[in-house]
Each structure stands twice: as C-alpha cells, then as structure tokens.
Amino acid sequence: SVHSGLLEWFSAGEWRAGHRFHHLSDSMRLALVLGCGGTYLDTDFISVAPIPAMEPGAFTLGFEDAIDGTEDRTMCNAVLSTPRPGHPFARALVDEFVQTFDAAANFGWNGPQLLGRAWRDNEQIRESVVRAPPARFYPL
C-alpha cells in the first residue's frame, strides 16, 4: 500500500502526545505527497509570484536560511513537490517518519530534520531530489 506504515503509526496513537496536531499534520503531508504527488504548501505559505517550474521527474524541496544568524540551512518541509505519486524520496520520507517518530523530541525532529535524515540515509535516490536554494521559494 502507498501509505503502508502510516496506518499502523496512526493506530498506535503515539502521535497524540506532545504537539499532537503538528505530528498529525506532518504525517498527512507525507501521505498526500507520496499517495497523490503534486505540490504541498503549508497554509501559511504566501505565493507572491508563480512558483518556478520544478525539475521534470524530481522531488523538489527548499532550503531555509538559519534564523540564528549562522550560515546553517535546513531543508524545509513547508514546500514539497513531486511530479507523480510514489516518488522514491517520498517513500523514504514516510519510512523514516514511521521508523524514527518521537513525540517527545524537539519540534523539528518529525518535520524539517526528517528531510535531512532521509537525504543523508538514501544516497541511491539523491539524484532524483532537487534541494532548491531559499530564493526559489522565499524570495523576500
């Protein structure tokens, strides 16, 4: 099943602890991107211009600039795009989410940090992932 693992994760109920609505929305964005493909934008994302065309066949995500004044960047899960359902990186994200979910972890563990872990641990599918610079999605 496209959503294998997520149903069992949901049924186990660990998501009800801590930031339960955030945990649930993190899982739903992954299920939608894996199962339907297309582009996911957080509801607080404001598009002031057309989103640039995505690379054909690639899973596209954005980097965010660090908010602490350092040069560190994190992958952002507020904008995710894939041209088709079942993209291997979307599958890797769901698998990583189910395997490493921690309701008590810091706020980003099950969200933006998840993208970094999946990227690091899936070298064989990296060529099908575009990590766009901040200006691609955050031009202001």
Q: pLDDT tens, 16-40? A: 887 788 888 889 999 999 999 988 8
pLDDT digits (tens, 9 = 90+) for 48-65: 767 666 778 889 888 776
Distance CA 77, CA 111 (A): 6
| Mean pLDDT computed over 5-16 | 88
Q: What is the DSSP letter of 125?
A: G
Outline where DSSP puts E strands in 30-112: 38-41, 59-65, 73-82
CB 83 within 8 A of CB 54: yes
Tokens read off for 39 = 């582009």
Sign of CA dihedral 79, 31, 107, 18: positive
Sign of CA dihedral 45, 51, 52, 54: positive
Mean residue pLDDT of the chain comes to 83
pLDDT digits (tens, 9 = 90+) for 100-114: 999 888 878 888 889
Torsions phi, psi for 131 (to 5 deg): -100, 100
Regarding predicted confidence, which is higher, 20 or 92?
A: 92
Torsions phi, psi for 81 (to 5 deg): -145, 135
In this model, does residue 2 exceed pLDDT 70?
Answer: no
Q: In sequence order, which residues have a C-beta less than 8 Å from that of residue 115 and are 6 or more positions away?
A: 61, 75, 76, 77, 93
In this model, does residue 68 exceed pLDDT 80?
Answer: no
Distance CA 91, CA 34 (A): 6
